[in-house]
Amino acid sequence: MAKRPTKAPNPSLTPANSNALPLPLPTHPLLVFGYKSSPLADYPRPVFTSGYDGKRGDDAIAEKHKEFSREAGRLPYVSTFSEIAVARVLGASTSVSTFVSQGNDKAAVLFRNWLIGHYQGVWRNDLTAPSFANRTQPIPTLCGFDTKKFMRRVGVECVLAQAPLPLGFWFGNPDHRDVMDFLVIDEFRKMLPEPGVAAESLGLGMPLDFAPGWDAGRDLALACEILVAFGQMQFPQGKAEKREVQDPLHAVAAN
C-alpha cells in the first residue's frame, strides 16, 4: 500500500518538547482502537428500486447492489469483526490488547468482556436514563477512526451474539472522539476535504489510499500517531522520535 512521503515530526507537537502541555490525567483513560472487519459469509441483501424502467432501471439496481457489496464489510448486521486492537492509555502508561475471532469466539464479544471486566457498572442499560450508571469510576473516552460507527457496530454484533453490551456504551455515549477530525477540520473541509495535507505536515505514515477497517494494527498505530502529535499520549519507551506507523504496537507489550 502506497505511503505518503514523511518528514521529521513537527517539534512543537512532540511530547519531549519543552513547550509541550502536560499529558491528560491518568485517571481519565483513553481507549484507542483499530479493527478489521469483513462481510458475513451469507448476509441478507436489501431490496433496491429504481425510478427508471427497462434496461436503464436494471443497470441502476445492479450498480446499487455492487456498491452495497463493496461496503458490506463496513456495515452493521451484514459484517463481522475479525480483529479488534485496543490501546489503553493512562497518562504516560499504555498497554495493548488484541481480540481475534476464532470459531464461535467473536472479537466483538471478547472486546465486550474486556470492557465489562475493566469498567464494571460504568454504563447503564436503559434508554430512559443517562448513559452512565457510575460517574465515580473512571469513564474511558474511545478514540479512533469512525468511532461512533465502530461503537454502534460492536453493540449490534454483541446483541446478535446474545452477549449484549450496556446501551450506555454504544447508544448515546458522548465520550468518543474521531481522530480524523484532527486532520480534516469541518470549518475548512471545502478546501481541504482529504487528510493528506495534514498527514504530510505532521509527518504521519498514512497511506495515500487509507481507509479504516482493513488492518487493526495499522489503524491503531496511526490513531496513536495522531494522538501523540496533538499531545494526548506519548510513544512508550521513548519512541516519540520515530514516527513510523508501526511503532505503538511494537513498543508496547500486549496484555
Please report the pLDDT score of residue 182 as a whole number. 92
Going along the chain, which residue ranges are E strands? Answer: 30-39, 79-90, 93-100, 141-144, 176-178
- Does 105 fall in a domain? yes
Which residue has cell 477497517? 213
Taking the model in full, what pTM does it have?
Answer: 0.79
Residue 215's SS3 state is: coil
Q: Partners of 85 in the beta sheet?
A: 34, 98
Distance between alpha carbon 249 and the CA centroid of its chain, in Å? Answer: 15
Please report the pLDDT score of residue 241 as a whole number. 33
Which residue has cell 471486566? 117
- Does 65 fall in a domain? no
- Does 1 fall in a domain? no
Please report the pLDDT score of residue 45 as a whole number. 80
- Does 55 fall in a domain? no
- Does 196 fall in a domain? yes
Which CATH number characterizes residue 146's domain? 3.30.420.10
- 3-state helix, strand, coil split of the chain in percent (to 5) is 35, 15, 45
- Does 133 fall in a domain? yes
Please report the pLDDT score of residue 223 as a whole number. 94
CA-to-CA distance for 111 and 113, rounded, in angstroms? 5
What DSSP string runs through 58-127? HHHHHHHHHHHHHHGGGSTTTEEEEEEEEEEEETTEEEEEEEE-BTTB-HHHHHHHHHHHHSTT-B---T
Q: Which domain holds residue 221?
A: 11-43+78-251
- The structural domain count of the chain equals 1
Please report the pLDDT score of residue 42 as a whole number. 83
Give the phi and the psi of residue 84 in degrees, each rounded to 5: -130, 125
Please report the pLDDT score of residue 131 as a whole number. 73
CA distances from 19 to 5, 106, 117, 163, 244 (A): 27, 44, 38, 46, 23
CA-to-CA distance for 76 and 235, rounded, in angstroms? 33
Please report the pLDDT score of residue 220 as a whole number. 95
- Does 138 fall in a domain? yes
What parts of the chain have a pLDDT lower than 70? 1-18, 24-27, 130, 134-136, 235-255
Closest residue by Cα to residue 160 from 68, 48, 43: 43
Which residue has cell 494494527? 217
- Does 4 fall in a domain? no
CA-to-CA distance for 231 and 15, rounded, in angstroms? 6
CA-to-CA distance for 90 and 92, rounded, in angstroms? 6
